[in-house]
Amino acid sequence: MLALGLFAIIALTVMNVFSLYDIRDRMTEGEEERQFQLAEELVRDVRQQIYTPFSGLREIELEPVEYFINSSGQFPPQLKEGIINASKNPLFDGIYFTPESIDPCQEGASIYGFNYSNNELELTSEYPSILCDGLVLARTKARIELNSFNYRWNNNVEFDAHRTMNIGFINLEENRVIGYLTITLNKDQIVNGLISPLMNEYFSADTAGGTVLWLHDWLNNEVLATNNNAIEYDIDLVDQRRVRFGTSMFSEWNIKVAFLDNSIATMYNATLVKNLIILGFAFLFLIGALLFMFFTAQRERALSLRQAGFLANVTHELKTPLAVMQAAGENISDGRVTDPIRLQKYGDHIYSEAIRLKKMIDKLLDVAKSDSGQALINAAPVDANELLRFFVSESRAYIEAKGFNLDLKLSDSRPLIMADKDNLENILSNLTENAIKYSSDNKNILFSVVTNQKEIIINISDTGIGIPKKHHKNIFKKFYRVEDSLKAKTKGHGLGLSIVKNLVELNGGDVTLKSEVNIGTTFKLRFPVLIPNEKTLNNQKNRITSTSITENNEYAQ
């Protein structure tokens, strides 16, 4: 049962530890996912800022534009307005229009350039050479798209990396390109005026935690912008996913993201540690409770076994003297025994068996009383010297008849304690009975009283069989008996010492034992001093004097 319980608790704990780690990982991953989506949002923002100035194109009917430009050399008004606005945007350096029939890659070719000073289009052959590259790309793409499917939009945008944006104007009716609006891009503005501020806005030091972004030019392996200058770009730190600007926009750039050990991860880790500590305590508590329950159950089991044994024993013990008394009484009442000597013998039998029975019943009553908390004490000042003197004088004959040498050492001061005299006698007689029962060849009993400033100690020592050390802690428990050969021969129920302990404690004292196998046993009863007497105070070292026993002492009276 214990093993099963332990297994269940350990299995539950292990499961919990795993799920706590899992939750932490999921939370961290979730947080990383959130940061990644934020980076994608940033890119959408960048794209929008580039496209927005030209978004009006979609609403313009482009077919007449070809005719208008060819005839006037200018953009029609509805287009011109948007172009003028775009020309004010610092992201764009220049705006050009190349009719489909003109190849800007050819030397000396003239295309339309937007004049920023008068907002007019004018034919020029002074245009940046990158126009040629952009237009080649744009033409190729436009041709593919116009040929491959039914193209539905009136324009087609193609970037030459970060250099040019080329918008093909499409005559949808004839499914052909009219010409290309080319916008040369200002790299510095795009990087430092647009992307870098957005990076800092989306991932400021306060909100980014440990997320670091780098705008990376992978072609030249160059970092163009970052939200955290303190962290150097390191490919090993970078998450596998990259955020791109689109299929052709800034094609050699992407945003690389690194999730460093950030404050959020630290927070999740702290939560994990906190949960693990709580779990640890719960685990220890459960194990403790389980062990406690287990040992309590074991104790209860041992107690009920001892109790069962005791009941069987006690029934026998009660029946035996009764049977003897019954038989002896019968013989006498039948008139079968008339001889005075035999009659006296029968009388003695009945008497001694009655005494045995009475002792037995007294013991049971004592246990029952202390179990139910009904043991009442009648405390009064008792002189331990006088108590011992009286007890020894009363029991001397009995003890010596059992073949024991008896010695008594009293304190030279007046050791007063506050206790119930009957209880003390009961204690002494239990311990004396044990000393007699558990001695074999070496038969000595010593009673002594020792005093110090705080307490009065009554020792009852014997030189008997002793109690093995391992039993000391249980010896005062109810029904506990040491299993050995002598015990088998001695009668007892394991109640005497529990009664002793109970009574000593009821009277404000405590009892301990010192015992060694085959050397002997001493039971020490300690009681608080009622009045610390002067002589005791002066005598730090207790001197014990041997006194003779006076039959006629004041205690006895």
Would you count residue 487 as binding ligand ADP (CB under 6 A)? yes
Q: Of 139, 421, 481, 526, which lies in the binding site for ligand ADP, with binding defined by CB under 6 A? A: 481
Minimum CB distance to ligand ADP smaller for 145 or for 484? 484
Would you count residue 215 as binding ligand ADP (CB under 6 A)? no
Alpha-carbon distance of 340 to 352, in angstroms, equals 18
Alpha-carbon distance of 509 to 419, in angstroms, equals 9
Which DSSP state fits 154?
Answer: S
Distance from CA of residue 471 to its chain's centroid? 37
| Strands 211-217, 253-259: pairing kind | antiparallel
Would you count residue 496 as binding ligand ADP (CB under 6 A)? yes
Minimum CB distance to ligand ADP smaller for 517 or for 544? 517
Alpha-carbon distance of 201 to 208, in angstroms, equals 10
508 Rama sector, left if φ>0, alpha if ψ -120 to 50, beta otherwise: left
Locate the DSSP E strands across 90-221: 92-99, 111-115, 120-124, 155-160, 164-171, 176-185, 211-217
Locate the DSSP E strands across 218-356: 222-226, 238-244, 253-259
Minimum CB distance to ligand ADP smaller for 177 or for 435? 435
Short-list 262, 252, 118, 93, CA closest to 187: 93
Please state the closest distance from residue 321 (CB atom) to ligand ADP, in A.
Answer: 16
Residues 97/73, Cβ–Cβ less than 8 Å: no
Please state the closest distance from residue 371 (CB atom) to ligand ADP, in A.
Answer: 15
Q: Sign of the C-alpha dihedral, residues 26, 27, 28, 33?
A: positive
Alpha-carbon distance of 378 to 363, in angstroms, equals 19
Three-state SS for 83?
helix
Q: Which span (372-380, 419-427, 460-468, 502-510) binds ligand ADP, by CB under 6 A?
A: 460-468
Q: Which span (148-156, 399-407, 414-422, 464-472) binds ligand ADP, by CB under 6 A?
A: 464-472
Minimum CB distance to ligand ADP smaller for 260 or for 482? 482
Minimum CB distance to ligand ADP smaller for 245 or for 479? 479
Q: Whole-angstrom distance between the N-terminal and C-terminal Cα of the chain?
A: 62
Alpha-carbon distance of 135 to 179, in angstroms, equals 10
Q: Which span (15-23, 37-45, 117-125, 475-483) binds ligand ADP, by CB under 6 A?
A: 475-483
Minimum CB distance to ligand ADP smaller for 349 or for 487? 487
Binding mask 131-160 for ligand ADP (x = CB under 6 A): ------------------------------
Q: Of 495, 503, 511, 530, which lies in the binding site for ligand ADP, with binding defined by CB under 6 A? A: 495
Please state the closest distance from residue 482 (CB atom) to ligand ADP, in A.
Answer: 3
Would you count residue 462 as binding ligand ADP (CB under 6 A)? yes
Contact partners, residue 466, CB within 8 Å, separation at least 6: 515, 516, 517, 518, 519, 520, 521
What is the identity of the amino acid at 118?
N
Would you count residue 389 as binding ligand ADP (CB under 6 A)? no
Please state the closest distance from residue 552 (CB atom) to ligand ADP, in A.
Answer: 30
Please state the closest distance from residue 362 (CB atom) to ligand ADP, in A.
Answer: 13
Three-state SS for 275?
helix
Window 498 to 527, contacts with ligand ADP (CB under 6 A): 498, 521
Would you count residue 306 as binding ligand ADP (CB under 6 A)? no
Alpha-carbon distance of 237 to 257, in angstroms, equals 8
Binding mask 426-455 for ligand ADP (x = CB under 6 A): --------xx-xx-----------------
Minimum CB distance to ligand ADP smaller for 474 or for 539? 474
Site of interaction with ligand ADP (CB under 6 A): 434-435, 437-438, 462, 464-467, 475, 480-482, 487, 492-498, 521
